[in-house]
A and B are shown apart, each in its own frame.
Chain A
C-alpha cells in the first residue's frame, strides 16, 4: 500500500471513529462503541508499523490548500519521517491500549459513547500535531488537543459535588494552554515574516543556505516556541494546570497528561531543532527551566496523598528532565525518555486507575494499603512501573535517565548534582506511593475492603503489555559500553531519519565514567528502595494527616503555594481590573458621561424658556435689541473691512 494512502488512513481512521460514535454512538451498544473506537486506533497503529518498517528518508504528503494567496500558501500537508512515525507509533500504540483499558474503566459511565468520541477526536488532533509537515497544521493539532483535553478533563461536569470543580480544572488547563498558544502564534508569525513559509523542511533548508539569520530573530522565535512548549508540557511557569487536570477520568490522565499530549512540547522542540541550534541562549533558558521544574515538581510530589496527584507531579518532573536533555541539545535522548516515560507512566496511571476502580473511586492513599493481596495483577505491574521510573537497573527508565545524567555530567557537573537530587526524590516518592498503596495494612475500613476487587481483563491486559514494555523499553537505546552492536539503535534511527538531527551529536563518556555513573544511579535507586521498604513496610509508617505536617512537609503538601501566588499575582488583579473598568470606567465614566452631556444640553431649556417672558413690552424690547445688534454688526463689519 502506498505510503501516502497509509498515512491518510492513519489520520482518517480516528476521525471516522469520532464521526460514527459522535453521530450514532448514543444508539449503539457499549461494547460496539468501545470496540469501534479501540479498533480504529489499533488499526492506525498497525498501519503505522508498516510505515515504520518501510521507512526511508523523508516524504511529504500534500492533501489540499488551506489558504492560497499569492504571497503565502499554506497546505494541509503531512510529513513522514523517523520522528513523526515514532510519535505516531507511541500515540496509536499506547492510545489503543488505553482505549482498551477505558472500555472496562468507563463501563459504568453514562457518557460512555461521548468519552470514546472525545478520545478518538484527541487521537486525531494529536496525529495532526505530530504528522503535519508545517507549523500551521501543527498549530491546528496543537489547539485541537487543547480543546480535547478541556473536554476530557471536565468530562464529569454533571457530577453533583465535583462537577463545577471538574469544569473549572478544564478551564484552567485550557486557558494556560492558550497562554502557551499565544507564544506559538507569535513564533509562527515571526517565522512567516522571516521565511514566508511554515514548512519545516523549507525553513530548515533556508537556514542551511543563509547563516545570517542567527542571533536576535532566532532567539525571539525559539523563546516563543519554548513558551508554547511550557504551556503544553507543563513547565514552569505554566505547570499548575496539570495536577488539576487529574480531575479527568484516569485513562485520560494516562493518555493525554502522561503519555502523549504533554510531550507535544518536547516534540515541538525536537522538530524545530534547527532553530534552537541557532539560539544557544534559548537552549540555556530551556535547560534551567527544565531543571527547576524537575526539582520543584519532585519536591511537591513528596507529600501528596492523592494517588493521581503524586503521579501528576512526577510527570511534570519527568518532563522537566526531558527539557534538561533538550537544553543540552540531546534531542534523541530526550525523545528516548519520552518513549520510556510513555511506557511506565501510562502503566502507572492505568495501574492507579485500576486501583481507583477497585477501590470504588477512592483516590486517597491514606485509605489504602495492603492492596497487594487484593489485586495481585495490578500490584505486580504497578511495582514494575515504580521500579522503572525510579531507575532500578536494567528497566527502561534506568537507561533513559542514565543517558540524560550522562549528558548533564558531560556538560555541567552542577546540573548533574541537582539532577541527582531530583532523581533521588523521584525514587523516594514513588516507593512511598507504592508501599503506602500496596503494602502494610488496609486502612479503608472493612466495609470497603470487602468490596475491593481485581479489575477485569480489558483493564489488566493493557497493564501487562505496558509492564513488558517498561521492562524491555530500554533495549531500544542501549548505552555503548556493552552490546556494541545494537547500542544506540534509537539515536541512529532518529538522527538519520529526521531533518537536522544528523548534525547533532550526543556526548559519549568514556568507559569508566559511564560505568561509575550507572553504578551510582543504581545505588541511589536500590538504596531508596531499601529505605522505603524499612520505613513503610517494616515500621509501617503511614502518611500523616494534613494538620500534622510541619516545615518542608507542609511546603511540599501545599505545592509551594504556587497556586496561591498565581491567584494573588494574576487572577485577582485581573478580576479587580475587570470590575473597575466594567463598573467605573464603562458605566460611570463613559455611559453616564454621555447621559450627563445630553442632559446638560437639554436642561439649558429651563434657561431659554425664561426668555419667553410673556410680556409684549419685553418682546418689543428684544426686537429693538435685535435691531441694535444688527447695526452693531454693521459697524463691526466696517471696522473689520477698513
Chain B
C-alpha cells in the first residue's frame, strides 16, 4: 500500500512541479518517489487492500513492485531528455507515468476483480493521454485514437468476462471465486466463457496475437519516451496480473485452457518475429519483437505453481529500454532503421549496451536474456514440451531479427561522428549493461 501512496503523492507533486518550468526538479521528485516506493515495497511488501477485509489472495511479491518501480525509473531517466526542452509537458509526463504506475501495481497482484479492473483502468487511461501527448503530430494523434478505442473495447471485454464470472460464482473475491470454481463450477459454461473473455483481455494488455493490433501502430506513433514505459511496465503488470489472477483463479480448469494458451504462444512468437524481419522502422520492429516476447511470457501459465517469470521480464524490459535509449540518441523523428547504420561506433557506451541488449534478447548466455528464457522454459518444458520446441525454433528466427539489427549497428561508418549522450542516458545504458551481465548471479 505504502508504495502506491508514495507514488501517488510524488506524482501529484511532480505534476505541479511541472508548472514551475523546472524539469530537473520534477525529474528528481519522480525519481525520489520511485526509489521511495521501491524501498517501501522492500520493507513493507505485503499489504491488505483497503477495498476488502479479505487477506491478500496471492501474497504480494515486493520484488514485483520493485521491478516495476526500477523499470519506470529507467524509463523516465531515459525519456527525460525528450521533455527537458518542452517544459510545458514535463509535469504531465512524470505525473501521468507515476499515476499509471499506481494502476500497474494495483493490477499486478490484486485480491479482488473489482480492484483489478480499477487498477487496469488506472494503468491504461494515463497512457491513452501519454500516447497523444504531443498535440502537434498527426501520427501521435492516430496512435492515441487507435489505442484508446482498442483499449476501451478490451476493457469492455474484460468487464464482460468479470460479469460472467460473477454470474457463475456470485463473488468478486478471487479467493471465493477460486474456491467456488474448485467445487466444480468451473465446468459451467458461464465460468468457462468468462475465463476465456478474461484471457482475451489479458492477451490484449500484454499484446499477444490475436489482440496485438494496437501494438505496432501505437508504439510507432508514441514518442520514444512513452514507448519505453509502455513496452515494458504495461507488459510486466499485465503478465503478472495474468499469472496471479488468471493462472491462480482458474488453476482447476488448467487442462481446459492450456492448449489455447499454447496456441497463442506459438502464433504470437512466429508472427511477431517473422513480421519484425521486414520492418523498416525501429519502433515497429520493437513492437513486433514485443509481440513475440509476449508470446514467450505466456509460458508463465504453463506451470501454475512456479512461474519463473521474473528474470525474463526483467531482462526483456532492460534490453528494450537500452535499445530505445540508443534509438533516442540518434535523435531523428523519421525513426528509420537506416539511421542505425554504425551507431555502435558513435559512443562506446552505446556500442556495449547495444551488443549486450541484442544478444540478451536473442538469448545468448551468459546474458540476462538467456537466464530469463532458461528459467521460464525450465518450469514450462515438462508441461508443454512441444510448444517449447516450436518456441525455440521461433526464437531462432528472432535471433535473425536481432542480429540483423546488430550487424547494422556494428557496420563501420566511413566518418564516425560522436553522439553526445546526456548524463541520465549514460546512466541508463550503464545500468542496463551491468544488469544484463550481472544476471549471472541469479543462476
* Chains A and B touch each other in the complex, with CB atoms below 8 Å apart: yes
Contact (Cβ within 8 A) A623 B154: yes
B84 shortest CB reach to chain A, Å: 33
Choose among B196, B197, B213 the residue that contacts A612 (Cβ–Cβ < 8 A). Answer: B213
Cα A605 to Cα B397 in complex, Å, equals 11
Q: Which residue of B lies closest to A637 (CB)?
A: B256
Contact (Cβ within 8 A) B211 A626: yes
A629 within 8 Å of B by Cβ? yes
B295 shortest CB reach to chain A, Å: 14
A622 with B210, Cβ < 8 A, contacts A602-B400, A631-B196 known:
yes
B260 within 8 Å of A by Cβ? yes
Contact (Cβ within 8 A) A608 B271: yes
Contact (Cβ within 8 A) A623 B146: no
B119 within 8 Å of A by Cβ? no
A602 with B153, Cβ < 8 A, contacts A623-B213, A626-B210 known:
no
User: Which secondary structure dominates where chain B touches chain A?
Assistant: helix
Contact (Cβ within 8 A) B277 A622: no
Cα A631 to Cα B200 in complex, Å, equals 11
Interface bits B215-258 vs A (CB < 8 Å: 1, else 0): 01100000000000000000000000000000000000000100
Residues of the B chain whose Cβ atoms lie less than 8 Å from the Cβ of A601: 274, 397
Contact (Cβ within 8 A) B275 A622: no
A605 with B150, Cβ < 8 A, contacts A619-B214, A623-B204 known:
no
A602 with B200, Cβ < 8 A, contacts A623-B154, A630-B260 known:
no
Residues of the A chain whose Cβ atoms lie less than 8 Å from the Cβ of B200: 623, 626-627, 630
A602 with B210, Cβ < 8 A, contacts A608-B274, A620-B150 known:
no
A65 within 8 Å of B by Cβ? no
Residues of the A chain whose Cβ atoms lie less than 8 Å from the Cβ of B259: 633, 637
B199 shortest CB reach to chain A, Å: 7
A625 within 8 Å of B by Cβ? yes
Contact (Cβ within 8 A) B210 A605: no
Residues of the B chain whose Cβ atoms lie less than 8 Å from the Cβ of A634: 189, 192-193, 196
Cα A66 to Cα B211 in complex, Å, equals 71
Residues of the A chain whose Cβ atoms lie less than 8 Å from the Cβ of B157: 623, 627
Contact (Cβ within 8 A) B150 A623: yes
B:148-174 near A, CB below 8 Å:
149-150, 153-154, 157
A604 within 8 Å of B by Cβ? yes
Residues of the B chain whose Cβ atoms lie less than 8 Å from the Cβ of A598: 400
Choose among B146, B196, B277 the residue that contacts A619 (Cβ–Cβ < 8 A). Answer: B146
A609 within 8 Å of B by Cβ? yes
Number of A-B residue pairs at CB separation under 8 A:
73
Residues of the B chain whose Cβ atoms lie less than 8 Å from the Cβ of A629: 210
B418 within 8 Å of A by Cβ? no
Contact (Cβ within 8 A) B274 A623: no
Residues of the A chain whose Cβ atoms lie less than 8 Å from the Cβ of B278: 602, 605-606, 609
Interface bits A567-611 vs B (CB < 8 Å: 1, else 0): 000000000000000000000000000000010011011101100
Cα A612 to Cα B146 in complex, Å, equals 12
B439 within 8 Å of A by Cβ? no
B262 shortest CB reach to chain A, Å: 11
A614 within 8 Å of B by Cβ? yes
Residues of the B chain whose Cβ atoms lie less than 8 Å from the Cβ of A565: none
Contact (Cβ within 8 A) B277 A620: no
A616 within 8 Å of B by Cβ? yes
B:121-166 near A, CB below 8 Å:
145-146, 149-150, 153-154, 157
Cα A272 to Cα B193 in complex, Å, equals 87
Cα A616 to Cα B151 in complex, Å, equals 11
User: Which secondary structure dominates where chain A touches chain B?
Assistant: helix
Cα A620 to Cα B213 in complex, Å, equals 9
Contact (Cβ within 8 A) A622 B213: yes
Choose among A608, A612, A616, A630 the residue that contacts B145 (Cβ–Cβ < 8 A). Answer: A616
A602 with B274, Cβ < 8 A, contacts A616-B146, A623-B153 known:
yes
Contact (Cβ within 8 A) A612 B397: no
Cα A598 to Cα B393 in complex, Å, equals 12
Q: Which residue of A lies closest to B192 (CB)?
A: A634
Cα A313 to Cα B220 in complex, Å, equals 85
B:255-279 near A, CB below 8 Å:
256, 259-260, 271, 274-278
Residues of the A chain whose Cβ atoms lie less than 8 Å from the Cβ of B210: 622-623, 625-626, 629
Choose among B150, B204, B277 the residue that contacts A602 (Cβ–Cβ < 8 A). Answer: B277
User: Which has the most chain B C-beta neighbours within 10 Å: A598, A609, A625, A631?
Assistant: A609
Residues of the A chain whose Cβ atoms lie less than 8 Å from the Cβ of B271: 608
Cα A238 to Cα B91 in complex, Å, equals 93
Contact (Cβ within 8 A) B199 A630: yes
Residues of the A chain whose Cβ atoms lie less than 8 Å from the Cβ of B260: 630, 633
A604 with B211, Cβ < 8 A, contacts A620-B149, A627-B197, A627-B200 known:
no
Cα A634 to Cα B200 in complex, Å, equals 13
Contact (Cβ within 8 A) A623 B397: no
B390 shortest CB reach to chain A, Å: 13
Residues of the A chain whose Cβ atoms lie less than 8 Å from the Cβ of B193: 631, 634
Contact (Cβ within 8 A) A619 B150: yes
Residues of the A chain whose Cβ atoms lie less than 8 Å from the Cβ of B276: 605
Cα A616 to Cα B221 in complex, Å, equals 14
Residues of the B chain whose Cβ atoms lie less than 8 Å from the Cβ of A614: 217
Contact (Cβ within 8 A) B199 A616: no
Cα A630 to Cα B259 in complex, Å, equals 11
A594 shortest CB reach to chain B, Å: 13
Cα A601 to Cα B269 in complex, Å, equals 13
Q: Which residue of A lies closest to B263 (CB)?
A: A633
Residues of the A chain whose Cβ atoms lie less than 8 Å from the Cβ of B149: 616, 620
A614 shortest CB reach to chain B, Å: 7
Cα A633 to Cα B267 in complex, Å, equals 15
A615 shortest CB reach to chain B, Å: 10
Interface bits B163-203 vs A (CB < 8 Å: 1, else 0): 00000000000000000000000000100110011011001
Residues of the A chain whose Cβ atoms lie less than 8 Å from the Cβ of B256: 637
Residues of the A chain whose Cβ atoms lie less than 8 Å from the Cβ of B274: 601-602, 604-605, 608
Residues of the B chain whose Cβ atoms lie less than 8 Å from the Cβ of A608: 271, 274-275
Contact (Cβ within 8 A) B397 A616: no
Cα A605 to Cα B279 in complex, Å, equals 9
User: Which has the most chain A C-beta neighbours within 10 Å: B145, B193, B204, B210?
Assistant: B210
Cα A199 to Cα B260 in complex, Å, equals 71
A239 shortest CB reach to chain B, Å: 56
Residues of the A chain whose Cβ atoms lie less than 8 Å from the Cβ of B214: 619
Q: Which residue of A lies closest to B150 (CB)?
A: A619
Contact (Cβ within 8 A) A612 B216: yes
User: Which has the most chain B C-beta neighbours within 10 Å: A601, A605, A606, A609?
Assistant: A605
A133 shortest CB reach to chain B, Å: 55
Contact (Cβ within 8 A) A602 B197: no
Cα A608 to Cα B146 in complex, Å, equals 20
Contact (Cβ within 8 A) B213 A605: no
Contact (Cβ within 8 A) B196 A602: no
Give me 5 other A-B pairs in contact (C-beta within 8 A), A616-B145, A634-B193 excluded: A619-B146, A620-B149, A620-B150, A623-B200, A631-B193
Task: Give A residues with C-beta under 8 Å from B.
Answer: 598, 601-602, 604-606, 608-609, 612, 614, 616, 619-620, 622-623, 625-627, 629-631, 633-634, 637
Task: Give B residues with C-beta under 8 Å from A.
Answer: 145-146, 149-150, 153-154, 157, 189, 192-193, 196-197, 199-200, 203-204, 210-211, 213-214, 216-217, 256, 259-260, 271, 274-278, 397, 400
14 contacts between A and B (CB under 8 A): A605-B277, A608-B274, A608-B275, A609-B278, A612-B213, A612-B216, A616-B150, A620-B153, A623-B150, A623-B200, A623-B211, A626-B203, A627-B197, A637-B259
Q: Which 10 A-B pairs have the closest CB atoms?
A: A626-B210, A605-B278, A619-B213, A630-B196, A608-B275, A605-B277, A602-B277, A605-B274, A633-B260, A605-B275
